[in-house]
A and B are shown apart, each in its own frame.
Chain A
């Protein structure tokens, strides 16, 4: 790592971890609790999906804030060599993609009655 690539934010990779983790928790938990959610007053699937979408978005936000301001140059040339900035971009994208997937699952949870077989 060269000096210009030194990082203050140690959580630049947050989106890479939080996005997929939130997706995994949401999908597995909703799939597992569907049978028990049938008689609940407030759908636990909806609550969980909202929470997990926020977690994934938080990961995207943390990574986004870690992207260096001069990062635009990376899109114009293909030299590379700034691994942490690269991971921060990956974290931002990963957080956004998985937040979208969870929101899509939230839409299903809002529309589909958990009692349906």
Chain B
């Protein structure tokens, strides 16, 4: 046990106490206060993470219901379940919900919960910002769905192209709702990105050098940087759109010198990295699952990290492939074709590493690994059709057809949702202390895998037959009925798999087998603590001497001693070598993040109705921030 340097008149430290005394002290320090006010004020990353996960899955359910509605509408020619106007809202709400309210937030949610545990610290960096981020995300999502329920849901596609979204063609508030929902969710995403970067760089356990960071944590670090550089672009886009609509600026008004292609550039400069903001965390999950269930360290750690970083950089060089049909110069477009095709190289490297790990290991085919295998099969198919549409001539042929719908669902569901569900089965025992049912899990997987392929593979053919995206119906003469019916049937089967998942979760929460600390015999630090983890995560901060610490130091993990037990404290370490640097206080619970989020919500929503909201909406935010940072005489402020 290594001991931090102490001063003669020091406060009580953890090495002065035995285990039971220490645990009791730490619970007193780190627990979430009781009562509704305490729960609203919590800054525990695990509590916030669970809220994030639950909320994101609730939005998945809502977006999924919309998907089923669309598939029922399209299951035969000239069906009249949805009107054209409602269909426009439904497909826009589906895309916006899945991208902004489910896929990105759920990846952040898992990171908020697990990154601090995996790097061996007691809380995420800037925990009050974390709480603020969740509230802003929740309010933004409720705002979007509340608008939809009042027939003011956006109807402009999840990309909101101008001039369709301009005041001239969309005079109601629907486009404003979309644009401001973007602001909500991006503020939330940026906040979490900052927290993740700082947590990974500065709060890693002693000895967790750069080449000992769990691959999932690497993936989230790369993702956080992607968020930091990609999201401002769409915030600028949505803000300028609102300005055009509300105060008559002319960013996108061609008659006054504006440029509609500027919108597409700004949107897709965010929109393509967005795909990787969803995909890269999923690959991190896959690396963790493959190593655990292959019973060996993942093959090619360095290659996988290299692939993550290269994918992150390359993802910013692909956006124009969404704009091939806009008449850009061919040489310019070819630059993006080249990088779009070559991004398959790092993705392919990762897949070979995972296959090699499975080949050289002793795989145990439990439900999480089944979802990983499903991911590999589906994602490879999605990647292949991606390489196809990276080519300008093919893209021009299938642009805006169901071929593209099939492609991106193969990439996003295969590449992100399958690993995510696998990760849910994997980490559920850590979060709840109980195992999910393995039998229901296998049913869940096969229903999802079969339903997904029946649902989405026919869309490739429909696209090649010329069926365009975003049409609310079609005539019988087109000959698309049978494939659409097949697709809708698969969609319902796929949806059923999620119903089974929900049932499994509810059933297992009550009656699931008790998990124990490390039910999978996994190697990373989140499994070194109890299931579910205590409020303080680790009674003593672990020291890492190996890339797979629980396999190398099974049952005898070295620890650091010397942290205060009189205030919330985390240990800061150096960026590259994770050498201990200093002890730092960690903020206590506060209601101000919630109040700030409420003030910000009023500001955001008000500003789509009147520009004066910027004037009267600012003082409440300023007041809330002053309250947030006001010295309160706590131990945290005494440093």
Q: Are the chains A and B members of one assembly?
A: yes
Q: Does B470 contact A (CB under 8 A)?
A: no
A16 in contact with B334 given A79-B546, A80-B211, A101-B314 (CB within 8 Å): no
Q: Does B478 contact A (CB under 8 A)?
A: no
Shortest Cβ gap from B2 to chain A (Å):
14
Contacts of A86 in B (CB 8 A): 209-211, 302
Interface stretch (choices B305-313, B405-413, B498-506, B628-636) = B305-313
User: Are B547 and A16 in touch, CB under 8 angstroms?
Assistant: no
User: Are B332 and A30 in touch, CB under 8 angstroms?
Assistant: yes
User: Are B211 and A27 in touch, CB under 8 angstroms?
Assistant: no
Q: How many residues of B contact A (CB 8 A)?
A: 41
Chain A 59-117 residues near chain B, CB threshold 8 A: 74, 78-87, 89-90, 93-94, 97-98, 100-101, 104-105, 107-109, 112-114, 116-117
Q: Does B361 contact A (CB under 8 A)?
A: no
A97 in contact with B306 given A30-B335, A80-B211 (CB within 8 Å): yes
Cross-interface CB contact of B346 among A34, A82, A97, A104, cutoff 8 Å: A97
User: Are A90 and B330 in touch, CB under 8 angstroms?
Assistant: no
User: Are A35 and B546 in touch, CB under 8 angstroms?
Assistant: no
User: Are A78 and B546 in touch, CB under 8 angstroms?
Assistant: yes
Q: Does B552 contact A (CB under 8 A)?
A: yes
User: Are B545 and A101 in touch, CB under 8 angstroms?
Assistant: no
Contacts of B330 in A (CB 8 A): 112-113, 116-117
Contacts of B303 in A (CB 8 A): 93
User: Are B577 and A101 in touch, CB under 8 angstroms?
Assistant: no
User: Are A90 and B305 in touch, CB under 8 angstroms?
Assistant: yes
Cross-interface CB contact of A101 among B306, B338, B548, cutoff 8 Å: B338
Contacts of B577 in A (CB 8 A): 1, 83
Residue of B nearest to A81 (CB): B209
Q: Does B17 contact A (CB under 8 A)?
A: no
Cα-based distance from A113 to B330 in the complex (angstroms)? 8
A117 in contact with B302 given A31-B332, A83-B209, A104-B338 (CB within 8 Å): no
Cα-based distance from A105 to B548 in the complex (angstroms)? 40
Q: Does B327 contact A (CB under 8 A)?
A: yes
Q: Does B531 contact A (CB under 8 A)?
A: no
Report the number of A-B residue pairs with Cβ-Cβ less than 8 Å: 126
User: Are B331 and A34 in touch, CB under 8 angstroms?
Assistant: yes
User: Are B320 and A31 in touch, CB under 8 angstroms?
Assistant: yes
Contact code string B308-336 (vs A, CB < 8 Å = 1, else 0): 01100110110010000001011110111
Cα-based distance from A98 to B336 in the complex (angstroms)? 14
Contacts of B309 in A (CB 8 A): 16, 90, 94
Count class of interface residues, chain A: 35 or more
Q: Does B444 contact A (CB under 8 A)?
A: no
Shortest Cβ gap from B426 to chain A (Å):
20
Cross-interface CB contact of B334 among A26, A82, A94, A112, cutoff 8 Å: A112
User: Are B546 and A80 in touch, CB under 8 angstroms?
Assistant: yes
Cα-based distance from A100 to B209 in the complex (angstroms)? 29
Shortest Cβ gap from B23 to chain A (Å):
30
Q: Does B512 contact A (CB under 8 A)?
A: no
A101 in contact with B342 given A83-B211, A86-B210, A90-B305 (CB within 8 Å): yes
Cα-based distance from A16 to B308 in the complex (angstroms)? 12
Residue of B nearest to A109 (CB): B331
Chain B 172-229 residues near chain A, CB threshold 8 A: 207, 209-212
User: Are B302 and A93 in touch, CB under 8 angstroms?
Assistant: yes
Residue of A nearest to B207 (CB): A81
Residue of A nearest to B210 (CB): A83
Task: List 16 interface pairs A-B (beta carbons < 8 Å), by A numbering.
Answer: A1-B576, A20-B310, A78-B301, A79-B547, A81-B546, A82-B209, A85-B211, A86-B209, A86-B211, A90-B302, A94-B310, A104-B338, A104-B341, A105-B335, A108-B335, A108-B338
**Which A residues are closer than 8 A to B by beta carbons?**
1, 16, 19-20, 23-24, 26-27, 30-31, 34-35, 37, 45, 74, 78-87, 89-90, 93-94, 97-98, 100-101, 104-105, 107-109, 112-114, 116-117
**Which B residues are closer than 8 A to A by beta carbons?**
207, 209-212, 297, 301-303, 305-306, 309-310, 313-314, 316-317, 320, 327, 329-332, 334-339, 341-342, 345-346, 545-548, 552, 576-577, 579
